[in-house]
Amino acid sequence: MSKTVFQRILLKLSGEALAAGQGFGVESARVHEIAAELAEVHALEIQIAIVVGGGNFFRGVAEQAKEMDRVSADHMGMLATVINALALQDALEKQGVHTRVQSAIEMNQVAEPFIRRRAIRHLEKGRVVIFAGGTGNPYFSTDTAASLRAMEIKADAILKATKVDGIYDADPMVVKDAKKFTQITYMDVLRQGLKVMDSTAISLCKDNNLPIIVFNLNTHGNIKKVVTGEKIGSLVCA
């Protein structure tokens, strides 16, 4: 069995990760790939919590929400995260991993309400917990929800899954000689305005000294590499 460096992690997944190449909705094959990878990590007896975004259905600050009231748009985004959480739960349970969805917005027919002690108990019993509905408040992103939930459950680190292999000083998809940071401080992320997570999420991690590891989800096996201590991606720390 591989030696792991974390006992309890919070994985932040974007909604776009579940849409794969199609950009909209949930791409079933991709969700099952991610679930299979998570099942491997779960087999190492690591406690896994997940916060999932909703950008594959609705982005509160994007073009499609321009004419809308921001609060209504954000509530639609929160509902999108519930759809993603249920898709991921289904895929994980097909891998034989017991999973619970906890929503910050009450919807008792489909998800448990978010109760911190219950979430921790699920993790201790070896269940994967997916946090949906963001923080339950408008104006807060799912990145901020990830930071908040990670603090609440006392996670060892946030694993931020992206489509690039770490943090760069410019968009590596656009700027070909963008410089990669293997390690960077919270203050430098804020100072340079790097688009890792929004500033509220970064500040929250900084105040509570919670490390963030940014890595590429599209390389198979990367989640396992991170939890077993391989040096991939970028580390944000004090």
Answer CATH for 8-237 from 1.10.8.60, 2.40.50.60, 3.40.225.10, 3.40.1160.10: 3.40.1160.10
- Band of residue 1 on the pLDDT scale cut at 50, 70, 90: low
Q: What pLDDT, on a 0 to 100 scale, did the predictor assign at position 23?
A: 79
Q: Let me know: does 198 contact 148? Beta carbons within 8 Å.
A: no
From residue 60, alpha-carbon distances to 63, 67, 126, 158, 230 in Å are 9, 11, 34, 23, 35
214 bridge partner residues: 160, 234
Indicate whether 28 pLDDT > 90: yes
- What is the mean pLDDT of the segment spanning 180-202? 93
pLDDT tens profile 136-157: 999 999 999 999 999 999 999 9
pLDDT digits (tens, 9 = 90+) for 6-15: 999 999 999 9
**Predicted pLDDT of residue 172:** 85
Higher pLDDT, 226 or 61: 226
High-pLDDT (> 70) share of the chain, %: 97
pLDDT of residue 58: 83
Sorting pLDDT into bands at 50, 70 and 90, what band is 176? confident
Identify the pLDDT of residue 20: 86
Sequence-ordered list of residues with C-beta below 8 angstroms from that of 112, at least 6 positions apart, any chain: 100, 101, 102, 103, 118
Point out the least confidently predicted range of 17-21, 123-127, 215-219. Answer: 17-21
**70-94 helix and 28-42 helix, angle to the nearest 10 degrees:** 60
- Window from 22-26, 59-63, 74-78, 131-135 with minimum mean pLDDT: 59-63
